């Protein structure tokens, strides 16, 4: 603000590091999607086209690029199938054509699709004439939410794909079958959608440990540390990478509590314990007289 620095400080602040599959994907709630479809205006070409796009995305979990690439040749009306060319995997996905989707496609082609030499299913309603691109497909959900006033947390088009995957998971579809329907070459990619099924995950969650159980684990850990301390020195021998057992610094109680909580929740934390013991060794060696503040000494928190 005073002109001392050439560049503002906020441009030099590092962003928070996020790891792969750390964030749970957000899926659009299915009741809100049904409400959206019921309140959409399908009397206009815009509304009928957007309704058909959103119905295909929620019924088959298709991507924006896949919807934009659909043509009339991909529909087999006699066999009642829909062939989806997947640009990401360079493979064709054959899907059954349901009655609801078939009726929506017929209404779209008869009433909403403008006359054109293009074979694409979804065309522009405004000049310049031509096929609707992936960006145009991506905007259909946000336009429908604004028109219907349905309260949806996000208008991300990919949330329709997540909602479709969650519906299949709730119906008990196997992960391999779900991977085939979504067009994933690697089944591990499909495992990203598993955290969405919260209700089934509740059945495998570990119970929250009681305070007495944690206190008993902490007491046994203290006894083990005291027994190890009688035979092993506090300092690490020269030329070795081992860390003495037990915690002896002023952070000993908080560190034991932390490990007890994590292991009560089912985590191993072997590597983390090794790191914490090394930290405790340095604190005990270099700051033997240090202590916790009074506000933190109660309960070791």
Among 63, 108, 248, 256, the active-site one is 63
Among 60, 193, 248, 284, the active-site one is 193
> Which of helix, strand or coil describes residue 6?
coil
Active-site residue 184, yes or no? yes
Contact 75, 82 (CB under 8 A): yes
Classify 142 in phi/psi space as left (phi over 0), alpha (psi -120 to 50) or beta.
alpha
Among 42, 184, 277, 284, the active-site one is 184
Q: Which residues contact 29 (CB under 8 A, 6 or more apart)?
A: 152, 163
Among 42, 49, 158, 162, the active-site one is 158
Separation between Cα atoms, residue 186 and residue 167, nearest integer Å: 20
Among 23, 88, 119, 153, the active-site one is 88
Active-site residue 263, yes or no? no
Active-site residue 158, yes or no? yes
Contact 54, 42 (CB under 8 A): no
Among 42, 49, 108, 161, the active-site one is 161
Please, is 269 exposed, middle or buried when counting C-beta atoms within 10 Å of its C-beta (0-12, 13-18, 19+)? middle
* 210-217, Cβ contacts within 8 angstroms, sequence gap of 24 or more: 213/264, 214/257, 214/260, 214/261, 214/264, 217/260, 217/263, 217/264
Alpha-carbon distances of 64 from 26, 54, 126, rounded to whole Å: 17, 10, 19
Separation between Cα atoms, residue 197 and residue 202, nearest integer Å: 9
Active-site residue 161, yes or no? yes
Separation between Cα atoms, residue 95 and residue 180, nearest integer Å: 11
Active-site residue 63, yes or no? yes
Contact 47, 41 (CB under 8 A): yes
Give the active site residues.
63, 88, 158, 161, 184, 193
């Amino acid at each position: 603000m005073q002109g001392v620095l050439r560049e503002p400080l906020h441009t030099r602040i590092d962003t928070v590091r996020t790891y792969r599959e750390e964030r749970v994907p957000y899926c659009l709630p299915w009741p809100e999607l049904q409400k959206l479809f019921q309140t959409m205006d399908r009397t206009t070409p815009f509304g009928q086209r957007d309704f058909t796009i959103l119905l295909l995305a929620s019924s088959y979990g298709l991507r924006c690029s896949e919807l934009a690439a659909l043509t009339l040749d991909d529909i087999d009306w006699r066999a009642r199938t829909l062939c989806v060319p997947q640009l990401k995997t360079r493979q064709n996905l054959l899907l059954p054509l349901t009655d609801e989707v078939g009726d929506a496609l017929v209404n779209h082609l008869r009433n909403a699709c403008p006359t054109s030499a293009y074979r694409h299913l979804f065309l522009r309603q405004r000049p310049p004439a031509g096929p609707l691109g992936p960006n145009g497909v991506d905007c259909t959900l946000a336009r429908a939410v604004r028109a219907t006033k349905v309260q949806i947390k996000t208008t991300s088009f990919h949330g329709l794909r997540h909602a479709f995957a969650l519906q299949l998971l709730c119906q008990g579809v196997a992960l391999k079958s779900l991977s085939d329907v979504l067009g994933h070459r690697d089944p591990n990619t499909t495992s990203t959608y598993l955290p969405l099924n919260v209700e089934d995950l509740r059945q495998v969650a570990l119970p929250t440990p009681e305070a007495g159980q944690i206190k008993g684990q902490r007491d046994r850990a203290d006894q083990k540390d005291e027994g190890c301390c009688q035979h092993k020195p506090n300092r690490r021998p020269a030329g070795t990478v081992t860390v003495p057992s037990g915690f002896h610094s002023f952070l000993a109680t908080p560190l034991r509590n932390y490990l007890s909580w994590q292991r009560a929740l089912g985590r191993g934390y072997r590597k983390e314990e090794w790191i914490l013991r090394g930290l405790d060794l340095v604190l005990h060696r270099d700051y033997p007289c240090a202590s916790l503040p009074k506000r933190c000494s109660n309960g070791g928190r």
